[in-house]
């Protein structure tokens, strides 16, 4: 997987958004892993036994693929698609590869995934870095059963706009919000019939 041709695009996108990765991939799990696992547990507990019936999962902003590891521990046997703009994160994730994993370097605002193809779309602790309109439209476009989005509580200023977009774009979906006091994110689960 040669990621070098995409470096200019990645750099341009990250510069436009004013973001960068200040933690090397090797240290990410140690610094943030426990908190991320708590977020995954919070929303996956709502899906319960349905986790094993999922066939395709897209993890948007997958980083080091901690969500995949957690899903596998819960008995998930389907295909995991990790999407991230960071080639460093993807290289690190690839080094811990699982047989049913695909990794793609892409921008969450322009996902290279077919419409209505993913049973679960997860965008955990990433949405605040994106153009909300574009990202929510993309997440809705590719998801067919569940879409889970988390928003950092310290970015609560974005919550009204995000909720408005979720209600508008996912209008036929059931929306459930999880807010656990000591969790650093609000979590939104959208379930389509």
Half-sphere exposure of residue 36: CA atoms within 13 angstroms, side-chain side: 23
Q: What stretch of H or E contains 119?
A: strand 118-123
Token pair in block for residue 145: 């059963």
In this prediction, residue 9 carries a pLDDT of 47
**Cβ atoms within 10 Å, residue 8:** 9
pTM of the model: 0.85
In this prediction, residue 22 carries a pLDDT of 54
pLDDT truncated to tens, each residue of the chain (193 aa)? 444 544 444 444 444 444 454 555 555 555 556 888 999 999 999 998 899 999 999 999 998 899 999 999 999 999 999 999 988 888 888 887 667 789 999 999 999 999 999 999 999 999 999 999 999 999 999 999 999 999 999 999 999 999 999 999 999 999 999 989 999 999 999 999 8
* Angle, CA of 25, 30 and 31, to the nearest 5°: 85
- Cα separation of 2 and 87, whole Å? 9
DSSP 6-72: GHHHHHHHHHHHT----S-HHHHHHHHHHHHHHHHHHHHHHHGGGGGG--EEEEET-TTTHHHHHHH
Helix axis angle, 87-95 to 25-47, nearest 10°: 80
In this prediction, residue 14 carries a pLDDT of 46
For the chain, count helices (H), then strands (E).
Answer: 6, 7
Q: Is the backbone of residue 65 left (phi > 0), alpha (psi -120 to 50) or beta?
A: left
In this prediction, residue 191 carries a pLDDT of 97
- Which of 23, 14, 1 lies closest to 104 in space, CA to CA? 1
In this prediction, residue 97 carries a pLDDT of 63
Instruction: Give the total number of structural domains in the chain.
Output: 1
Domain that holds residue 102: 4-191
CATH code where residue 83 lies: 3.40.50.150
CA distances to 25, 142, 185 from 156, in Å: 27, 26, 9
Q: Which residues pair with 118 in a beta bridge?
A: 143
């Amino acid at each position: 997987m040669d990621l070098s041709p995409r470096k200019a695009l990645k750099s341009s996108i990250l510069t436009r958004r004013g973001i960068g990765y200040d933690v090397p991939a090797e240290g990410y799990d140690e610094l943030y892993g426990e908190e991320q696992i708590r977020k995954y547990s919070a929303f996956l507990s709502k899906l319960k036994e349905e986790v094993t019936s999922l066939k395709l999962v897209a993890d948007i902003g997958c980083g080091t693929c901690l969500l995949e590891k957690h899903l596998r521990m819960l008995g998930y046997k389907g295909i995991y698609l990790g999407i991230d703009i960071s080639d460093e994160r993807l290289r690190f994730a690839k080094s811990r590869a699982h047989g049913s994993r695909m990794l793609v370097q892409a921008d969450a605002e322009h996902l290279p995934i077919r419409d209505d193809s993913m049973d679960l779309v997860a965008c955990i602790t990433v949405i605040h870095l994106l153009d909300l309109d574009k990202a929510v439209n993309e997440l809705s476009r590719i998801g067919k059963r569940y879409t889970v989005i988390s928003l950092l509580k310290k970015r609560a200023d974005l919550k009204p706009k995000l909720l408005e977009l979720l209600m508008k774009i996912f209008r036929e979906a059931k929306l459930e919000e999880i807010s656990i006091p000591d969790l650093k994110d609000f979590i939104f689960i959208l379930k389509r019939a």
